[in-house]
Amino acid sequence: MAITRVVMPKLSEQMETGKVIKWLKQEGDRIQGGDILAEIETDKADVEMEAFGAGVLRKILVPNGETAPVGSLIAVIAEPGEDIGALVAEPGGGAAAPAREAPPAGPAADVSRRPAAVPPQPRREDHAERQPAPEAGPTAPARPVAPAPAEPTAPAPAAEPGRVKASPLARKIAAQAGVDLRLIHGSGPAGRVVRRDVEAAAAAPTTAPVPAAAVAAGPEYEDRPLSQMRATIARRMPLSKGPVPHFYVSSEVDMDPAWALREQLNALEGQPKVSVNDLVVRACALALLEHPGVNASFQGESLRVWRRVHVGIAVALEDGLITPVLRDAHAKSLGQIAVESRDLAERARARKLRTQELSGATFSISNLGMYDVTEFSAIINPPEGAILAVGAVRQVPVVRDGGVGAGRRMMLTLSCDHRVMDGAMGARFLQDVRRLLEEPLRLLV
Amino acid sequence: MAVMTYREALNLALREEMRRDDRVFVIGEEVGLYEGAYKVTQGLLKEFGPRRIVDTPIAESGFTGVGIGAAMVGLRPVVEMMTFNFALLALDQIVNSAAKMNYMSGGQYPVPIVIRGPGGPAHQLAAQHSQSMESYFYHVPGLKVVRPSTPMDAKGLLKAAIRDDNPVIFIEAETLYSVKGEVSDDPDFVIPLGQAIVRREGTDATVVAYMGMMYRALEAAETLAAEGISIEVVDPRTLRPMDTETIIGSVRKTHRAVVVEAGAGFAGMGSEIAAFITEQAFDDLDAPVERVTGASAPMPYARNLEKAKTPTRERIVEAVRRVCYAANGSR
């Protein structure tokens, strides 16, 4: 039997270190190839790490929550009798394994050096599908059986709960488009979901089956399975709100000048229509150039200050939200921002964004103005250092030159990672955003 | 370019290579005075004489062994099987000597031999003379296996086979000898072994087929085009080494594949092609790879039963509809 070295997988080109979010197997557990060993967090996504070798998880070298460099040994899988002492005591313990390293002497020479992980797999993929089939062995984890819905809410003909029959291509496209395969009716043999089904679903997201309106005589409640997006949000938000110490600074912006400018701009023929949010994006991009400390990420031992501004723009969807990234916003004109952010939002609603358009933001903006929200606070999307919550532009009584008149006002609330910045830094940034919006010609130069 | 038959293209290839290299000679039954059972060696005895066009007794194992020995000492024999079904009598010579001699001698004895002749289903040649013989050979490491579908390929690939330093199994087809097509008359024109060709471009499914089945696939393409399904027909031409890259490239484009072969399907060429498509292009597949193969039965003599055993245009059309999840499919 071979000893399998479990190393920190390289899950993206830029990845240098990875964090073990959680081991899903414990020391002493029997492992089969394909079992999910742990959840790994990279800068981009959380990824499930699959085992290649089989045996017993003998030693975990990097505990939950710890970070390790790519290629370093983080666990060892071997049969109970095998000597793993030499491997575990290797120089540097978790240091990156040099390729020229001689195999350990003795009977344990047959050591697999394959990284114990699959290529990047977005965590949205159905967890259950990646488990080995239940009959694979007595040690396969029993999958909790979802409670049967009180009412048939989905047309899915699948006999096996959780398992969706889909062609490999359909699966790939669905993962890219963020489409939940479980909500799609498969048109292939035996209900197989094929490419055209995913494409149709991506093009018409609103056709997702909606539970029938509750009747008075019906059951008192309904347990809806989490959509993959909901599950991702549910998992990620506590990872922000828990470990990231948030603080908030708010400011009210006089939007009269910006409103007037926007009306003038939108009256121009042949020019893209500019939204209030586009003005805010542009103002933030310019202000972030002046306040690079806000455009920064906490790295544990250091702060990473980004030199480019990629703005994540939160887009509400039927069943969640998604944050497409407007890249290099600092280098784009207001018109460009308007065109690109509209395109991103439209494709986000159609679920046609590419995965690379969903990651890499250095700062985010969430705008609930269209819902007449006066003000709110947003949760930071790690590893970003801050997020700006934008309220509605309201007409309110304002004191002007000693009298009271009508004016347009908008509330901005900046959520800041206290590990990255302090109150004054956040406040100065917000002050500049406000100034840019109140003197909006600055947004055009 | 000249238009000629497949048979004439083979004859021209032999003639050019014999003129180019006096180590090349032809040996087999009826290749000289009778000028070949299918007239592939027509006129060669007259031009090259009995020293280089050698008539033999009816003894495949014997004359194949003579060819292998000649190749080991530096000649470049072309052994003709009157039909490739007869190569079964020479299987030990081909598999145990031709394929392995270079390996077992540590590279001292390459065997640059070509063994050629017709094979596969034809017209009422019955159980013993209709077999798709390639499957007996492409399993053997050390052999190259060629199945040329057109006159152009017949010439270009036979020349490449004669110039190759490895034993090459070159299986023609009775049904293709009279097919006409454009052929390069350049004596230096060769088609390298191991290169597939896209016979027809398409977007909805890849159909891999060679020899007569390639022509069936092109007919199926017309039927399917009328239904709005566009298929890409890929002809591997050389079965070993196989040009997997061209086939995978096509599947990555169309996302669906159908493999057609005249022989019985079990452990056939289609199995191998389906396997590497699944291994290399799994995430690009929108449907399982389908095989359209000959029935698992000896070839009947009766014409209607012969037709029933052999893949037809209709069966290819149905398989393509299935992988495309098209409405006319039988599922």
B253: nearest CA in chain A? A169
Question: Which CATH number does the domain housing residue A382 bear?
Answer: 3.30.559.10
Write down the pLDDT at residue A133: 40
Check B325 against A170: CB less than 8 A apart.
no
Using the Cβ of A190 and the Cβ atoms of chain B, whether some distance falls under 8 Å is answered with no
- Please report whether residue A143 resides in a domain: no
Write down the pLDDT at residue A111: 43
Which of A121, A143, A170 is where one domain is finished? A121
Write down the pLDDT at residue B312: 96
**How far from chain centre, in Å, is Cα A304?**
19
Chain A interface disruption, residue of B286, B289, B318, B322, most A CBs within 10 A: B286
Q: Which residue has the tokens 């209900």?
A: A191
Using the Cβ of A355 and the Cβ atoms of chain B, whether some distance falls under 8 Å is answered with no
Write down the pLDDT at residue A212: 45
Is A180 in the same domain as A262?
no
Select from A237, A214, A234, A259 the least CA-distant residue to A369: A259
Write down the pLDDT at residue A110: 42
- In A153-172, the residues whose Cβ lies within 8 Å of chain B are 167-172
- Please report whether residue A102 resides in a domain: yes
Q: Using omega within 30 degrees of 0 as the cis cutoff, is the peptide bond preceding B298 cis? A: no
Is A266 in the same domain as A186?
no
Chain B interface disruption, residue of A194, A196, A199, most B CBs within 10 A: A194
Please list, in sequence order, all residues whose beta carbon lies within 8 angstroms of the beta carbon of residue A131, skipping any fewer than 6 positions away: A34, A35, A36, A140, A141, A143
Which residues on chain A are in Cβ contact (under 8 Å) with B284? Answer: 168-169, 172
When mean pLDDT is compared across A39-43, A142-146, A326-330, B25-29, the lowest value belongs to: A142-146
Write down the pLDDT at residue A161: 54
Query: Which residues of B are tagged catalytic?
Result: 60, 129
Write down the pLDDT at residue B199: 97
Q: How many residues does chain B have?
A: 331
Q: How far apart are CA B266 and CA A227, in angstroms?
A: 44
Q: How far apart are CA A151 and CA A64, in angstroms?
A: 40
Write down the pLDDT at residue A31: 86
Is A201 in the same domain as A292?
no
Q: How far apart are CA B243 and CA B239, in angstroms?
A: 8
Write down the pLDDT at residue A92: 44
3-state secondary structure of B294: strand
Q: How far apart are CA B223 and CA B217, in angstroms?
A: 10
Is A84 in the same domain as A214?
no
A262-282 average pLDDT score:
91
Q: Which domain holds residue A13?
A: 3-121
Summarize pLDDT for A390-444 with one digit per residue, the tens. 999 999 999 888 889 999 999 999 999 999 999 999 999 999 999 999 999 999 8
Check A187 against B283: CB less than 8 A apart.
no
Chain B interface disruption, residue of A167, A176, A193, A196, most B CBs within 10 A: A167
Question: Which CATH number does the domain housing residue A22 bear?
Answer: 2.40.50.100
Is A197 in the same domain as A276?
no
| The overall pTM is greater than 0.80 | no
Q: How far apart are CA A287 and CA A330, in angstroms?
A: 9
Check B285 against A189: CB less than 8 A apart.
no
Locate A66 and state its tokens.
């710890």
Q: Which of A169, A188, A189 is nearest residue B283 as measured by Cβ atoms?
A: A169
- The secondary element (H helix, E strand) that includes residue A260 is helix A256-267
What CATH number belongs to B197-323? Answer: 3.40.50.920
**Using an 8 Å Cβ cutoff, are B233 and B217 in contact?**
yes
Is A300 in the same domain as A421?
yes
Q: Chain B: nearest CA to A167, how far in angstroms?
A: 5
Using the Cβ of A194 and the Cβ atoms of chain B, whether some distance falls under 8 Å is answered with yes
Asked whether the predicted pLDDT for residue A153 surpasses 60, the reply is no
| Chain B residues with at least one Cβ partner in A under 8 Å | 255, 282-287, 325, 331
Structurally, chain A folds into a number of domains equal to: 3
Query: What are the residue ranges spanned by the domains of chain B?
Result: 2-183, 197-323
Is A413 in the same domain as A288?
yes
Using the Cβ of A188 and the Cβ atoms of chain B, whether some distance falls under 8 Å is answered with yes
Top-confidence residue, A317 or B12:
B12
- In A294-353, the residues whose Cβ lies within 8 Å of chain B are none
Q: Chain A: nearest CA to B232, how far in angstroms?
A: 19
A79-112 burial string, b = 16+ CB within 10 Å, else e? eeebebeebeebeeebeebeeeeeebeeebeebe
Q: What is the CA radius of gyration of chain B?
A: 20
- Please report whether residue A389 resides in a domain: yes
**How far from chain centre, in Å, is Cα A94?**
28
Q: Which of A167, A171, A172 is nearest residue B287 as measured by Cβ atoms?
A: A167
A147-156 average pLDDT score:
42
Query: A418 catalytic, yes or no?
Result: yes
- Please report whether residue A348 resides in a domain: yes
When mean pLDDT is compared across A11-25, A140-154, B81-95, the lowest value belongs to: A140-154
Is A178 in the same domain as A50?
no
Beta carbons within 10 angstroms of residue A408's beta carbon: 19
- Please report whether residue A150 resides in a domain: no
Q: How far apart are CA B299 and CA B130, in angstroms?
A: 7
Select from B172, B164, B221, B169 the least CA-distant residue to B198: B221
Check A194 against B284: CB less than 8 A apart.
no
Check A194 against B286: CB less than 8 A apart.
yes
Using the Cβ of A144 and the Cβ atoms of chain B, whether some distance falls under 8 Å is answered with no
- Please report whether residue A309 resides in a domain: yes
Write down the pLDDT at residue A124: 41
Q: Which residue has the tokens 């000629």?
A: B4
- Please report whether residue A234 resides in a domain: no
Is A294 in the same domain as A383?
yes
Instruction: Tell me whether domains B2-183 and B197-323 share a fold.
Output: yes
Check A188 against B283: CB less than 8 A apart.
no
Is A302 in the same domain as A373?
yes
Summarize pLDDT for A36-90 with one digit per residue, the tens. 888 887 655 667 787 777 888 888 989 888 888 888 889 888 888 888 887 777 5
Select from B118, B179, B119, B129 the least CA-distant residue to B152: B179
Is A342 in the same domain as A418?
yes
Q: Chain B: nearest CA to A119, how far in angstroms?
A: 13
Q: How far apart are CA A7 and CA A96, in angstroms?
A: 9
3-state secondary structure of B181: strand
CATH classification number, B2-183, choose in 3.40.190.290, 1.10.10.10, 3.40.50.970, 3.90.550.10: 3.40.50.970
Mean pLDDT of chain A: 78
Write down the pLDDT at residue A429: 96
Summarize pLDDT for A207-249 with one digit per residue, the tens. 444 444 444 555 667 777 777 778 878 888 888 888 889 999 9
Locate B217 and state its tokens.
């696939």
A166: nearest CA in chain B? B286
A318-347 average pLDDT score:
90
Per-block mean pLDDT, blocks of 10 residues, chain B (331 long): 96 98 98 96 97 98 98 98 97 98 97 97 92 96 98 98 98 97 95 98 97 97 95 98 97 97 95 96 94 95 93 96 76 34
Is A209 in the same domain as A260?
no
A111: DSSP letter? E
